[in-house]
Amino acid sequence: MSSMTITTDNFETEVLKSTQPVLLDFWAPWCGPCKMIGPVIDQIADEYAGQIKVGKINVDDNNALAVQHGISSIPALFVYKGGEVAVQKIGAASKHDIEALFKNLI
């Protein structure tokens, strides 16, 4: 299982109503740092399958979600738990730092 694509159509079901914590990666195809952490996000999705959901939101395709989250810089990582934002981090991060965002929530 790799990360899932999150859009305005499935945001409520996959994120807000999720029984598991959800790690969201706001990214864009033209963003260098986003490309850098993309494989790490997919690796985390595989390693933590069943414990946490991992989704990617393309800000170009889902501008409403980006605006709703106040995204002004990408990559931006948000962790949702119980339908609310628990943690957020702006900018590229190491795998260890990304895991630290959600490890205490699973």
**What is the per-residue pLDDT across 3-35, written as a single tens digit (0 to 9) for each?**
999 999 999 999 999 999 999 999 999 999 999
Give Cβ neighbours of residue 26 (< 8 Å, ≥ 6 apart): 57, 59, 65, 66, 69, 71, 74, 75, 76, 77, 78
Element (H, E) at 95: helix 95-102
Q: Which of 34, 37, 66, 76 is catalytic?
A: 34
Domain with 98 in it: what CATH number?
3.40.30.10
Per-residue confidence (pLDDT) for residue 9, from 0 to 100: 96
Q: What's the total number of domains in the chain?
A: 1
**What is the per-residue pLDDT across 53-104, written as a single tens digit (0 to 9) for each?**
999 999 999 999 999 999 999 999 999 999 999 999 999 999 999 999 999 9
Sign, CA dihedral 10-3-79-64, equals negative
User: Cα 28 from chain centroid?
Assistant: 12
Q: Which of 6, 15, 31, 65 is catalytic?
A: 31
Per-residue confidence (pLDDT) for residue 2, from 0 to 100: 80
In the residue annotation, 33 being an active-site residue is answered as: no
In the residue annotation, 56 being an active-site residue is answered as: no
Domain around 100: 4-105
